Chains A and B, each alone.
Chain A
Amino acid sequence: MDDQQYHAIGKTSIRKDGIAKVTGQEIYTTDVVLPRMLHARVLRSPFPHATIKTIDTREAEKLGAICITPRDVPDLRYAERIVTIPSKTFKDRQVLTNTPRHVGEAIAAVAAETEDLAEQALSLVRVEYERLPAVFDPFEAMKEGSPLLHRTILFGQDEIQVKNNIAASREIVEGDIEKGFKEAEIIFEETFETGRVYHAQMEPKSVVCQPEADGGITVWTTTQTIHNVRQLLGEIFKIPLSRVNVKKVALGGSFGSSIQMNSVVPIGVALALKARRPVKLVSSREEDMHDHCKYPSWIQLKLGGKRDGTFVAGHMKVIIDIGAHNTQAYPLLGCMAGWWVSLYKLPHLKFEGQAVYTNKVPACAMQGFGNPQVTFAVESMMDMMAEKLEIDPIDLRLKNYVGLGETFWGQGPTVKSIIRSCGVEEMLRKGAELVGWKDKFKREKTEGVIRRGIGMARGFHTSGAGAPMAGEVIDYSGSIVKINEDGSVDFLTALMDLGGGTLDALAKIVAEELKVPLDKVGISPVDTRTTVYDVCTHATRGIYCGGGALHKVTGQAKTKLLEFASRILQVPPHSLKMEVDEEAGQGMVYVDGVQGRRISVGEVAKTAQINDWGTIAAVDSLRQVSCPPCFMAYFIEVEVNMETGVIKPTKALAYADVGQVVNPDLARGQLFGGLYRGLGYALLEDTQYDEESGELTSGGWITDFKMLTANDLPEMDNIEVHFTDTYEPTGPFGAKGIGEAALNPVAAALANAVYNAIGVRFTEIPITPEKVLKKINDHCKINSEKLTVKN
């Protein structure tokens, strides 16, 4: 689509929150300070599984601290993530627990005048524990007689028994796999494992809560969804939603870690309600690392195909170690099935997934929601098949991918839509050309210490969870748009910006639709009282769904504007046109070809006020009827050191189909970020456990949870980013999502490059130097002069 018609969309601009952020003026939860505010600390279980026999807070209270224990909080089980419809939601959480199920689970909390005093008070709380047997391995956990974490949990309103620690399971079948595999001429089977990554979002989870005189509460917190936090607090503390107000503050990153209401939120609220004073609770980094992680996966994949490379059948079995709580693994399993079947056409398929409780930190959504795991498995297997079939891996992908006009599962089997824009062919063919794929992929292998290879992988993510029918996942956004008397525009949305610039993109949508200069569009500070519902910024839905709803509402405001302008200009509304006048700093309404019939947006608004014509504002909501995939391909080059096992990514090319690019700089930033986290996922990031103590081997210290640094990435000049020429007909100005897509294929591209370099296939990530060396030692011959690969 030609960007020339746009003045805001597709143009690089400085993001509206940029100056506040770089000068430190942006307000995050931790910056919120209230008069008479207390500081809170949380007592956390040192054991992976225990029951509390007694808690004695008397000594702490003598210091003047306000203390809460499980006795002081509402006795109910809730689900902290309510993106799924209520009837499909599992509930096993409590505000504070008498039965901690992982090291670091909250048992009690204190609030005092200073954080120091709170720490002191915390050290005076006496707890008598009875340790219970714990289980850390999901396969152990599923065995008869293993320690049971939860005897029962709630599924919707129903209490259900938990058997063998299986928190949720799903089986999805299409066609007949037995028949399919019989037709197959070649069958591949492999098991893949992915790591337990910590989100490491910049801002640790925090909350500030103010109890109000009317019995209500006002809350500032790290969240991806202010309305779901409000709903949950209303449910837990039995306060009408009209008296629960959640303020929107900037969020210092999340990667999915705040898709649910953070566990510290109801603790802060309970303390504030008891103290009758505002309470601030800021997690330490160590506490944060004991709070959440990515879903680690074990994926058994079997694919059958014809010799010509056509796929006929697939069978995927998935085990997810979810840790101590079910932060909605049921939709996760559905999504994993969806990611799988939407990558390549499979006439016959079966998906079986199980999510298993273990006494570890609870896993939750993290960038991709099962997609990086599935894509690692499938895209690794694509290369294995291509090699066996002697087909170029790119050709094999082009032969089988799910593309234009085909059905896409945006969010599991209940959220499906038809693909209406697709840049897969462009990204694979042009990407291959740009990197010199044919020569590099087949290049002669060297025998030196340093070996070079190239690999590619493709993938996608959904843009939101919209569909014609309501599915298991709620997708809903709304906005308020009002045009001011000087021609500037305010918009109010509950949609959160997780740091990627989503709201900046939304401002562009408003500016473009109303043809007003971008700097005349203001993003209003809001809360749950001043906004209509927005489900959550997740599922790469910000621009497509949140922006889609805003586009609709802006259109409604525009209709009113044109109606009033038509009265002034004395022509029918449909004869009016709009254009931006950057010099005047105004959007202009005019009649094409008629001189003198031209008026600014501001004049229309002011005239409407003077004459009592009505407000030029609109409020409405929207569920998108589609969930278009944003496609992504990576080409990555590596050097593998055969002596140390160190893998060095040296070059990368990212090719993305995001529909219409809204802000080129920010879109590029998303791709760099996805590459960075993807390489960390592939090479380094993981949280390990000490089997004796059940504690993280890092102890929660960020210094011992290693992530890559800028020094570990290819040089900036060696990272190329391209966007396909696509336009999504259902998206605002043709746009779709990008965030999670940017990460999903990276690990597979890297593993494929390593295979290309040294001829060794890694099916387990992270691929650490030790693992590389072990496999090299098993497969390759080494002498001090040169290394020869054994056949």
Chain B
Amino acid sequence: MEYLRPQNLKNALHLMKQWKKKATLIAGGTNVIPDLRARAVRPEVLIDISHLKSLAYIKEDKRKIHIGALTTVSELASSKIIEKWAPLLSHAANQLGNPLVRNRATIAGNLADGSPAADTAVPLLALEAIVVIQGGKEKQVPIHQFFVGPNQTVLKRDEMIKEVIIPKFNPNAKTAYFKLGLRNSMAVSVVSIAVLMEMEKTFCKKARIGYGAVAPKPIRAYRVEEMLENKELTERLLRACCETIGKEISPISDIRASKEYRTEMASVLLKRVMKRVTQ
């Protein structure tokens, strides 16, 4: 296996185009290194972009915040901008892996890996983030269209994530995030949930719900969102939502949890976040 270290983004893209399937891009390495060890990937070349510091930033303008692809999860977790404008992402970043992983793992790596349990994807779905992809030319993909299936995204072999854009959320909106794992640190989610609700007293104007580890990819719970939007939130409605969510998801059984447990937890966590945002 060859190790390549391009000077800049342009060179990196050039190398990716040159090597295509034979190359694996590496930044933090918290997914790639275990995959290499498990021989889940067997690239001929490893293109290391971890040193391209110009891709590590958190900026804000009037309406949006911009997160560079190589921003680490630790940086997300400690950013005042994220805390203010995307608190859901702060919470998720704080609970991802452990401090060692958070110091290395990048937001783009977490997304590009395409894990159904990707911790940053779940709040980004609720926040309606946009993934900026750089290949031959730049394009923007809404996060809910970014994931295709287990470890599959819309990224082509010669493309990489350049930036994640998050529209600043309405400060009056209520948010909540929960992650259920087999332990409190270093855990892959059994189920995770992020919600953003714009409320007027008990009237729900807008609902965005992201889920992790309950489908082949991180998903939005559209049916439940629709049940909630422009409705008066009653206990009866919330209970109905908790029942509907079981039909909207398609979890699998794996070494962490059974399908049945995940289904039940999807409902329990929904109830929890609803309790949080309606209080």
Given contacts A688-B255, A711-B183, contact A784 B271 (CB under 8 A): yes
Q: A711, B184: Cβ atoms under 8 Å? A: yes
**Interchain nearest-CB distance for B182 vs A (Å):** 5
Q: Which residues in window 221-279 of B have CB below 8 A to A?
A: 235, 239, 242, 255, 257-258, 261, 264-265, 268, 271-272
Partner of A699, one of B38, B180, B235, B264: B38
Q: Which residues in window 721-772 of A have CB below 8 A to B?
A: 768-770
Smallest CB gap from A768: residue in B: B182
The answer to the question of A706 belonging to the interface, with a C-beta cut-off of 8 Å to chain B, is: yes
Q: Which residues in window 365-395 of A have CB below 8 A to B?
A: none
Partner of A770, one of B186, B235, B239, B261: B261
In the bound complex, CA of A655 to CA of B183 (Å): 27
Q: Count of A-B contacts with CB under 8 A?
A: 47
The answer to the question of A704 belonging to the interface, with a C-beta cut-off of 8 Å to chain B, is: yes
Q: B242, A784: Cβ atoms under 8 Å? A: yes
Q: Which residues in window 685-704 of A have CB below 8 A to B?
A: 688, 697-699, 701, 703-704
Q: A709, B98: Cβ atoms under 8 Å? A: yes
The answer to the question of B170 belonging to the interface, with a C-beta cut-off of 8 Å to chain A, is: no
The answer to the question of A159 belonging to the interface, with a C-beta cut-off of 8 Å to chain B, is: no
Given contacts A701-B38, A784-B242, contact A644 B184 (CB under 8 A): no
**Interchain nearest-CB distance for B234 vs A (Å):** 12
Q: B186, A709: Cβ atoms under 8 Å? A: yes
Q: B184, A709: Cβ atoms under 8 Å? A: yes
Q: B255, A773: Cβ atoms under 8 Å? A: no
In the bound complex, CA of A646 to CA of B98 (Å): 20
**Interchain nearest-CB distance for B176 vs A (Å):** 16
Given contacts A697-B255, A699-B38, A709-B186, contact A644 B239 (CB under 8 A): no
Give the chain A neighbours of B34 by CB distance below 8 A. Answer: 701, 703
Give the chain B neighbours of A644 by CB distance below 8 A. Answer: 180, 265, 268
Partner of A712, one of B184, B235, B255, B258: B184
Give the chain A neighbours of B183 by CB distance below 8 A. Answer: 684, 706-709, 711-712
Q: Which residues in window 33-91 of B have CB below 8 A to A?
A: 34, 38
Give the chain A neighbours of B272 by CB distance below 8 A. Answer: 643
In the bound complex, CA of A643 to CA of B178 (Å): 14
Give the chain B neighbours of A706 by CB distance below 8 A. Answer: 182-183, 187
Smallest CB gap from B188: residue in A: A703
Smallest CB gap from B272: residue in A: A643
In the bound complex, CA of A707 to CA of B187 (Å): 10
In the bound complex, CA of A170 to CA of B183 (Å): 39
**Interchain nearest-CB distance for B239 vs A (Å):** 6
**Interchain nearest-CB distance for A703 vs B (Å):** 7
Given contacts A684-B182, A712-B184, contact A643 B268 (CB under 8 A): yes
Smallest CB gap from B239: residue in A: A784
Count residues of A near B (Cβ-Cβ below 8 Å): 23
Q: A711, B185: Cβ atoms under 8 Å? A: yes
Interface string of B162-184 (1 = CB under 8 A from A): 00000000000000000010111
In the bound complex, CA of A123 to CA of B112 (Å): 31
Give the chain A neighbours of B239 by CB distance below 8 A. Answer: 784
**Interchain nearest-CB distance for A682 vs B (Å):** 13
In the bound complex, CA of A697 to CA of B187 (Å): 17
In the bound complex, CA of A688 to CA of B182 (Å): 15
Interface string of B106-124 (1 = CB under 8 A from A): 0000000000000000000
User: Which of B242, B261, B271 has the most CB atoms of chain A within a 10 A radius of its CB?
Assistant: B261
**Interchain nearest-CB distance for B180 vs A (Å):** 6
Q: A770, B258: Cβ atoms under 8 Å? A: yes
Give the chain A neighbours of B268 by CB distance below 8 A. Answer: 643-644
Smallest CB gap from A707: residue in B: B183
Give the chain B neighbours of A773 by CB distance below 8 A. Answer: 261, 264
Interface string of B6-50 (1 = CB under 8 A from A): 000000000000000000000000000010001000000000000
In the bound complex, CA of A769 to CA of B180 (Å): 11
**Interchain nearest-CB distance for A485 vs B (Å):** 49
In the bound complex, CA of A697 to CA of B183 (Å): 18
Smallest CB gap from A645: residue in B: B261
Give the chain B neighbours of A784 by CB distance below 8 A. Answer: 235, 239, 242, 271
Q: Which residues in window 418-440 of A have CB below 8 A to B?
A: none
**Interchain nearest-CB distance for B101 vs A (Å):** 11
Q: A709, B185: Cβ atoms under 8 Å? A: yes
Give the chain A neighbours of B264 by CB distance below 8 A. Answer: 773
Q: Which residues in window 608-663 of A have CB below 8 A to B?
A: 643-644, 646
In the bound complex, CA of A644 to CA of B265 (Å): 7
Partner of B261, one of A701, A704, A709, A769: A769
Smallest CB gap from B178: residue in A: A644
Partner of A698, one of B186, B187, B255, B258: B255
Give the chain B neighbours of A698 by CB distance below 8 A. Answer: 255
In the bound complex, CA of A697 to CA of B255 (Å): 7
Give the chain A neighbours of B180 by CB distance below 8 A. Answer: 644, 646
Give the chain B neighbours of A709 by CB distance below 8 A. Answer: 98, 183-186
Give the chain B neighbours of A643 by CB distance below 8 A. Answer: 268, 271-272
User: Which of B98, B187, B268 has the most CB atoms of chain A within a 10 A radius of its CB?
Assistant: B268
In the bound complex, CA of A280 to CA of B261 (Å): 46
Smallest CB gap from A701: residue in B: B38
Given contacts A699-B38, A709-B185, contact A704 B265 (CB under 8 A): no
Q: A770, B257: Cβ atoms under 8 Å? A: yes
In the bound complex, CA of A707 to CA of B184 (Å): 11
In the bound complex, CA of A784 to CA of B241 (Å): 12
**Interchain nearest-CB distance for B76 vs A (Å):** 19
Smallest CB gap from B191: residue in A: A644
Give the chain A neighbours of B235 by CB distance below 8 A. Answer: 784
Give the chain B neighbours of A710 by CB distance below 8 A. Answer: 185
Give the chain A neighbours of B261 by CB distance below 8 A. Answer: 769-770, 773
Give the chain A neighbours of B187 by CB distance below 8 A. Answer: 706
In the bound complex, CA of A563 to CA of B186 (Å): 61
**Interchain nearest-CB distance for B115 vs A (Å):** 13
In the bound complex, CA of A643 to CA of B180 (Å): 12
Give the chain A neighbours of B258 by CB distance below 8 A. Answer: 770
In the bound complex, CA of A718 to CA of B151 (Å): 42
**Interchain nearest-CB distance for A306 vs B (Å):** 44
Give the chain A neighbours of B271 by CB distance below 8 A. Answer: 643, 784
In the bound complex, CA of A639 to CA of B85 (Å): 34
In the bound complex, CA of A684 to CA of B256 (Å): 11
In the bound complex, CA of A769 to CA of B271 (Å): 18
**Interchain nearest-CB distance for B125 vs A (Å):** 22
In the bound complex, CA of A697 to CA of B272 (Å): 32
**Interchain nearest-CB distance for B104 vs A (Å):** 15
In the bound complex, CA of A770 to CA of B191 (Å): 13
Smallest CB gap from B187: residue in A: A706
In the bound complex, CA of A709 to CA of B183 (Å): 7
Give the chain A neighbours of B185 by CB distance below 8 A. Answer: 709-712
In the bound complex, CA of A644 to CA of B179 (Å): 12
**Interchain nearest-CB distance for B8 vs A (Å):** 31
A-B residue pairs, 8 tightest by C-beta: A711-B184, A709-B185, A711-B185, A643-B268, A770-B261, A706-B182, A697-B255, A712-B184
14 A-B pairs (CB sep. < 8 Å)? A643-B268, A644-B265, A701-B34, A703-B34, A703-B186, A704-B255, A707-B183, A709-B98, A709-B185, A710-B185, A712-B184, A712-B185, A770-B257, A770-B258
In addition to A701-B34, A712-B184, A770-B257, 10 A-B residue pairs with Cβ atoms within 8 Å of each other are A643-B268, A684-B183, A688-B255, A698-B255, A703-B34, A704-B255, A706-B182, A707-B183, A709-B183, A773-B264
- Residues in chain A within 8 A of chain B (CB atoms): 643-644, 646, 684, 688, 697-699, 701, 703-704, 706-712, 768-770, 773, 784
